[in-house]
Every structure is written in structure tokens, then in C-alpha cells.
Amino acid sequence: MWLMDSSIGRKLIMSITGVFLVLFLLFHGIMNFVVLFSQDAYNAICEFLGANWYALVGTKVLAAGFVVHIVYAIYLTFQNQKARGTVKYAVTKKQKGVEWASQNMLVLGIIVLGFMLLHLYQFWAKMQLIEISHKLGGHIEEELLANAANGAYWIKYYFSRHFYAVLYIVWLVALWAHLTHGVWSALQSLGLNNDTWMPRVKIISNIIATLIILMFISIPVYFLIGGGTNWIV
């Protein structure tokens, strides 16, 4: 199959799954940002995206896209190392100002993956997974079930512990570095790679990545400065 066997096909898969995941992060960032203004509104969104069929379908699609993206990233990294020796990511040329991210995409990806697993354990496993287990007849503790759609509770529970707030900030900085390179690399692989468009693509990529990270990082920063002290959840 061309998409699987050719270098261009594999880059295309990486690009499509990468763009899809960036759109998810953008949506997720906007959703999370709501909690700073209204915990009730945020919890209403969490309830809407609970163990409903559309949320479950979306979760499966995202999980599949994420797995494909990670597997292909690792595969392409080692293929590029073998073929070119020093290039560590599937791009045709480096862009000024992103050399470090370009050369460390695998390391950044591993950091992002590690913290993503932590995030899934702290939030998804305490929320949607609990609701799924309950609907399937599993025995769930009353307290966990009561807070399954209470995302604001879990945000306060973890980010009130400054260790986790700082940990998430470190993770988000790594994610920002990954995104600033990854977005323009994906768009380059999709054809926006001429001298006219590449500077624009780089600017757009940086804006999108920074916007996403600012929305996410605002929450742990908010708790570090004591903003969540009076939350009633």
C-alpha cells in the first residue's frame, strides 16, 4: 500500500494525524479554559462529553489517531537516522529558529506521551472511564461516581497540589516545543513548502501552538497564584 510503503505516504499519515490531534488540543484547550470563568459551565460540558455514544466514538478515533501518530513518529525517526544519520524527524529542510525542536522531536514526543498517560490516569480514568464502567454494570465507589462528571473537582484536587501544577507546566512547555515544530512540519508535508508560504506557515504554527498552550497553562498557573482557593466544587 502506497501510504504504508512510501516515505511520502508515511509523512502524509503523520501530517494528517498530527493536524487532527492539534485540532483536538485546540478544542480541549478552549473547553478547559471555560473552567476559569464558570465551574458549572465546565461541568456541563464534561457531562455532555461523558459516556455518550458520540463521546465514545470520538475517544476511539482520537486514541487511534494518537497511536498511529506515535508509532509512525518512532518509525520515521529511526528510518531518518538510518538514512541521513543526523536528521531526527520527517522534514525536508530545517527552519531557522526551530533547529532544537527539530532535532529533539522524539525526546519531546516521549515527554508528551509520558505526561499524557499521567493526564489520562488523573482525569479520563476518573471521569469517562468511571461512567463507562458504571454503565457496563461495574461496581463503582459512590464518591468516584458522584465526581465522574465533576471536572472542576478533579482540577482543584490535583492543581491545588503545587507539585502537579509545576509538573503540568513543564509538560506544557515540552508540548509547545513539539507543536511549534510539528504544525509547520505537517503543513509542509501537505504541500505548503515553497519560499512564499513557509514563513507564513511558521508564523501561523507558532500562533496556534502558543494559543493552545496558553489556554492549558493558564489553569495550573492560576492555582499556583492561589486563584482556586475559594472554588466550591
Rounded CA-CA distance 14/18 in Å is 6
C-alpha cell recorded at residue 24: 483536538
Q: Please say if the pLDDT value at position 115 is more than 80.
A: yes
Q: Please say if the pLDDT value at position 151 is more than 60.
A: yes
* Tens digit of each residue's pLDDT (9 = 90 or more) over 163-189: 999 999 998 998 888 888 766 666 666
What pLDDT sits at residue 89? 46
Place of cell 460540558: 45
Rounded CA-CA distance 131/109 in Å is 30
Q: Which of 110, 93, 112 shows the shortest CA–CA distance to 102?
A: 93
The whole-chain average pLDDT of the chain stands at 80
* Tens digit of each residue's pLDDT (9 = 90 or more) over 56-80: 888 888 888 878 877 777 777 677 6
C-alpha cell recorded at residue 187: 503543513
* Tens digit of each residue's pLDDT (9 = 90 or more) over 88-110: 444 445 544 445 556 666 677 77
DSSP string covering 69-132? HHHHHHHHHHHHHHHHSS--SS-SS--TT-HHHHHTHHHHHHHHHHHHHHHIIIIITTTHHHHH
DSSP string covering 173-219? HHHHHHHHHHHHHHHHHTT--STTHHHHHHHHHHHHHHHHHHHHHHH
* Tens digit of each residue's pLDDT (9 = 90 or more) over 26-44: 889 999 999 999 999 999 9
What CATH number labels 2-224? 1.20.1300.10
Q: Is the pTM of this model over 0.85?
A: no
HSE-CB at 183 with a 13 A cutoff on CA atoms is 24
Rounded CA-CA distance 198/194 in Å is 6
